[in-house]
Chain A
């Protein structure tokens, strides 16, 4: 089946820093989603981005489908950005395959 790899596994930054999270996938996909799991365990859908670039406030995402990767950018990090970021892909079937996540810690 398709493999999804996220890097780095852990990232610790100071408030105000910028960060880039990467998601590589092993085969062509129909769609890709980025999620944030906050410290309370809630999963929030950040982006639905099968290709191209989207921006939402301090967050933006770019997916280059032909090269099988996606990037999530977080600018001017805040402590509330802490948590685990997951990317998930599917190939048009019912199964959304999740990566193992990047744990982001933003220190004040």
Chain B
């Protein structure tokens, strides 16, 4: 079934540890995005990628990095996790920037 797969579905992590959230899509979409969803703050864009090989910063990029080595994969890395990064993380994709976005099921991340 075509769509976006995120892994893991949930994770508890000690502060200071490194963590990579995985995102894979099989729709051959050019654009991909990472959001975090927090109570009272809604969804906020962390990083995005217009196409393979390019990335850009969103609204809340600090503490996160991304890479886009190919069309399908867009991993999000927390180099040294902090408790304020406790959130639900959503990966999304669209055929191109500005087109309808489709979301994965999210990763619930708790930093202790």
Interface residues in chain A, defined as those with a beta carbon under 8 Å from any beta carbon in chain B: 30-31, 33, 35, 41-45, 48, 86, 88, 90, 92, 94-96, 98-101
Count chain B residues whose beta carbon lies closer than 8 angstroms to a beta carbon of A. Answer: 23
Shortest Cβ distance from B108 into A: residue? A41
A-B pair number, CB within 8 angstroms: 48
Is there a chain A Cβ closer than 8 Å to B90's Cβ?
Answer: yes
Assess whether B106 is in contact with A33, with CB atoms less than 8 Å apart: no
| A41-B88, A41-B106, A43-B90 known; A92+B42 contact, CB < 8 A | no
Is there a chain A Cβ closer than 8 Å to B99's Cβ?
Answer: yes
Shortest Cβ distance from B92 into A: residue? A43
Q: How far is the CB of B95 from chain A (nearest CB, A)?
A: 11
Assess whether B42 is in contact with A86, with CB atoms less than 8 Å apart: yes
Assess whether B42 is in contact with A99, with CB atoms less than 8 Å apart: yes
C-alpha spacing A41/B33, complex, angstroms:
17
Q: How far is the CB of B16 from chain A (nearest CB, A)?
A: 27
Shortest Cβ distance from A101 into B: residue? B42
Report, nearest first, the 8 A-B pairs whose CB atoms are least far apart: A43-B103, A48-B100, A98-B43, A98-B42, A94-B48, A45-B100, A100-B42, A95-B45
| A95-B59, A98-B42 known; A90+B98 contact, CB < 8 A | yes
Shortest Cβ distance from A100 into B: residue? B42
B-chain residues with CB within 8 Å of residue A31 when the two chains form the complex: 98
Q: A42-B106, A44-B103, A94-B56 are in contact. List 11 more A-B contacts (CB 8 A).
A: A31-B98, A35-B103, A42-B105, A86-B42, A90-B98, A94-B45, A94-B48, A95-B58, A95-B59, A96-B33, A100-B40
